[in-house]
Chains A and B, each alone.
Chain A
Amino acid sequence: SQTIHQWPATLVQPVGSPLSLECTVEGTSNPNLYWYRQAAGRGLQLLFYSIGIGQISSEVPQNLSASRPQDRQFILSSKKLLLSDSGFYLCAWNRGGQETQYFGPGTRLLVL
């Protein structure tokens, strides 16, 4: 069966510090991968998606970036965090042509 991991589970970072959140998927190959952010009490905002290694599409221009160095690894990064980057970051995957997405446990980021 497939599983999706995210770490860390929670993170407190000062403004201006760098960020690296990691997501990995097991039990499948060539997944589509997604990064979302969810503000408190709000819906999801798609940040990035990837259909293959090195292929990243950005949905929202901001100070975040994403990379996919390996088939089942998706990384969300920032060089300098802003207060507005606080939120719940979710990674998800699905197979090509499939609409249903499967979400990881999320990383709660607090920027102070």
Chain B
Amino acid sequence: DAKTTQPNSMESNEEEPVHLPCNHSTISGTDYIHWYRQLPSQGPEYVIHGLTSNVNNRMASLAIAEDRKSSTLILHRATLRDAAVYYCILRGYDMRFGAGTRLTVKP
């Protein structure tokens, strides 16, 4: 199965951009890249997904490398409410979340 690798934790200052990386070197040509986040004691929340082209929505942007072996979730201006665990997964029908990246936002 295609696997993703993310840093365990990252820190950011409020109002600054955050770039959350994800490596997925064994991605197949039909795998979509999905990002979810989970706030403490809540269910995961869909953030964004994409296949090849960069994607933008009201929550974030997704930058996908040309070879698709890595991607970056971009939060343009981090807020305290963005503090969460961010998960990068492939094959959205197979929600085998790993440990994700715990994002801390400092005021």
Partner of A108, one of B32, B41, B91, B92: B41
Query: Quick check: is A52 within 8 A (CB to CB) of the other chain?
Result: no
Within 8 A of A (CB), among B77-107: 87, 91-100
Of all chain B residues, the one with the shortest Cβ separation from A105 is B43
A101 to B91: give the CA distance in the assembly, Å. 11
Q: Across the interface, which residues of B come within 8 angstroms of A46, CB to CB? A: 94-96
Alpha-carbon distance between A42 and B100 when the two chains are bound, in angstroms: 9
Q: How many residues of A contact B (CB 8 A)?
A: 22
Residues of B within 8 A of A99 (CB): 32, 34, 49, 91-93
Residue positions of A touching B, CB distance < 8 A: 34, 36, 38, 41-46, 88, 90, 92, 98-106, 108
Q: How far is the CA of A38 from the CA of B95 in the complex (A)?
A: 12
Q: What's the minimum C-beta distance from A90 to chain B, rounded to whole angstroms?
A: 5
* B95:A101 contact, CB within 8 angstroms: yes
